[in-house]
Every structure is written in C-alpha cells, then in structure tokens.
Amino acid sequence: MDIGTLRGLGTILVFVAFIGVVLWAYSSKRKKSFDEAANLPFADEPDAKKRDEKLPGVRNK
C-alpha cells in the first residue's frame, strides 16, 4: 500500500463517519432530546411568564 491508498481509505472512513453523524442528528428518535436541549438556556427562569404578565406593554401569547 502506498500513501495515496492510505489517504483514500482515510477519506472514505471520515466520509462514512460524517454520514453517520448526519443520520444520528436528523433521526426522528433524537428530536425530543434535541428540543429539550434547545430549551435548556431558558430552564433557569421558571417565573419568566409571570414576570412578563406584570410588565406593561408586553404581549402575552
């Protein structure tokens, strides 16, 4: 095996790993956990809705 073959195999290995990560990330099984992770920055504000209701000029949804 020469260096070109090793580089080609390395490229194929990295490509297969990339496809695996993409399939994992976009899997419908992971959606719930990713949605929960996306809302983590807001988890430390349990009374944000109550505070917004008290402020004038803030629209409630």
User: In the prediction, which pLDDT does 47 show?
Assistant: 65
Q: How far apart are CA 24 and CA 7, in angstroms?
A: 26
pTM score over 0.85? no
8 Å CB contact between 37 and 45: no
User: In the prediction, which pLDDT does 55 show?
Assistant: 62
Q: How far apart are CA 28 and CA 31, in angstroms?
A: 5
User: In the prediction, which pLDDT does 2 show?
Assistant: 94
Strand, helix or coil for residue 50: helix
In a structure prediction context, what are the per-residue pLDDT tens digits for the chain, which is 61 residues long? 899 999 999 999 999 999 999 999 998 888 888 888 888 888 876 666 666 566 666 565 5
8 Å CB contact between 55 and 61: no
Interior angle at CA 42, CA 36 and CA 45, nearest 5: 130
User: In the prediction, which pLDDT does 17 show?
Assistant: 98
